[in-house]
């Protein structure tokens, strides 16, 4: 008993010191300040049940994409005409089979890779380009602002899906062209947000001080304006991911996205729409996958808006 009581303070001390280090009000370094901010954001995320649910859904999407070979129960493109249109839970088909006897569960698992690929590539292209256009337009002003924003208005004048359809029709069907078309149509909202943030920042005292020190336009934009725009961009990007997934599914539904036999969720719905009355699971299961992932992005986006928005009062 004495040994246990002597060991418990020693084992608890590192945990207490780490927690105190993460909760420090006076960080000793920039790294500690970043870790304190990250830990504070994590606590707020965990305290928000809906946002944390969205985070878990996206973790599930990532896990299913990474571990697809181990989670899938069959080859996603293997056909078995003798087992076509098998109901869920029958003959080893967890979610049933499609019109060619392919396992729908395995196709949904492998389809998460395509969805994650689309989301990732669009997330690293459209927001970055929009951030570039918006910050330069807002900081430079004048004719540069007019030209860049009028181009942005042209893209905003068309619905995303219609504009994506036009680009895919011009470039040709395929997953690569679909991703490119979605990226081209997704950047204007980010440019608008970045421009609005830049207009409120460019005349600040600290920007004037940096400018007096001899910093150039590119240095000011990259080192001082971009970091202040990132929180709004991240929130908008998270909320936009659901629309991007739906656009990609719409292109796949129309046969302009991923081509057969790739297990893309939109193409799976398109193939199953002719069986919707009798074999409902063929189109319903990939539709539920799209719904759940889109819901996860929306819930996480709402939570990140509360965490990252500096204008909101702290609870």
Which pLDDT score is estimated for 1? 44
Residue 216 has pLDDT above 70, yes or no: yes
- Give 81's DSSP letter: G
Measure Cα distances from 302 to 59, 200, 223, 268 in Å: 17, 23, 27, 29
Which pLDDT score is estimated for 12? 44
Q: Which phi and psi (to 5°) does residue 178 adopt?
A: -65, -45
Number of residues assigned to the chain: 315
Which pLDDT score is estimated for 67? 94
In this structure, of 121-135, 163-177, 262-276, 298-312, the range with the lowest mean pLDDT score is 298-312
Domains plus CATH for the chain? 56-308 (1.10.3720.10)
Which pLDDT score is estimated for 108? 94
Q: Where are the beta strands (DSSP E) in 65-171?
A: none
Over residues 228-241, the pLDDT tens digits come to: 888 889 888 888 88
Residue 105 has pLDDT above 50, yes or no: yes
pLDDT range class, residue 311, cuts 50, 70, 90: low
- Is there a contact between 50 and 237 (Cβ–Cβ < 8 Å)? no
**Stretch 247-254: mean pLDDT, rounded?**
87
Residue 5 has pLDDT above 70, yes or no: no
Which pLDDT score is estimated for 32? 79
Measured at the CA of 281, the angle between CA 276 and CA 285, to 5 degrees, comes to 115
Over residues 66-82, the pLDDT tens digits come to: 999 999 999 999 888 88
Say what the pTM is: 0.83
**Stretch 44-70: mean pLDDT, rounded?**
92
**Stretch 169-182: mean pLDDT, rounded?**
87
Averaged pLDDT of the chain: 85
Hey, what are 211's tokens? Answer: 């400018």
Residue 9 has pLDDT above 50, yes or no: no
Residue 291 has pLDDT above 60, yes or no: yes
Residue 310 has pLDDT above 70, yes or no: no
Which pLDDT score is estimated for 312? 55
Of residues 303, 190, 180, the one with CA closest to residue 236: 190
Residue 277 has pLDDT above 90, yes or no: no
């Amino acid at each position: 008993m004495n040994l246990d009581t002597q060991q418990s303070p020693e084992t608890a001390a590192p945990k207490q010191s780490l927690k105190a280090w993460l909760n420090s009000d006076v960080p000793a370094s920039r790294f500690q300040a970043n870790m304190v901010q990250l830990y504070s954001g994590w606590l707020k995320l965990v305290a928000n049940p809906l946002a944390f649910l969205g985070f878990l859904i996206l973790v599930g999407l990532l896990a299913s994409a990474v571990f697809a070979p181990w989670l899938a129960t069959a080859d996603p493109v293997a056909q078995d005409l003798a087992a076509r249109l098998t109901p869920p839970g029958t003959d080893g088909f967890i979610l049933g089979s499609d019109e060619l006897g392919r396992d729908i569960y395995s196709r949904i698992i492998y389809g998460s890779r395509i969805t994650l690929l689309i989301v990732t590539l669009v997330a690293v292209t459209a927001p970055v380009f929009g951030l570039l256009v918006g910050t330069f337009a807002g900081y430079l002003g004048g004719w540069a602002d007019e030209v860049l924003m009028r181009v942005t208005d042209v893209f905003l004048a068309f619905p995303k899906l219609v504009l994506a359809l036009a680009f895919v029709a011009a470039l040709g069907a395929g997953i690569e062209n679909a991703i490119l078309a979605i990226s081209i149509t997704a950047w204007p909202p980010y440019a608008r947000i970045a421009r609005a943030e830049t207009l409120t920042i460019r005349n600040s005292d600290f920007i004037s001080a940096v400018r007096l020190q001899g910093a150039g336009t590119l240095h000011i934009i990259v080192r001082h304006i971009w970091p202040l725009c990132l929180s709004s961009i991240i929130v908008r990007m998270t909320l936009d991911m659901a629309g991007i997934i739906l656009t990609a599914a719409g292109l796949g539904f129309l046969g302009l996205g991923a081509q057969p036999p790739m297990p893309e969720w939109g193409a799976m719905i398109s193939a199953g729409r002719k069986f919707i009355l009798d074999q409902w699971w063929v189109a319903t299961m990939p539709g539920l996958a799209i719904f759940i992932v889109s819901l996860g992005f929306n819930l996480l986006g709402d939570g990140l808006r509360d965490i990252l928005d500096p204008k909101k009062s702290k609870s």
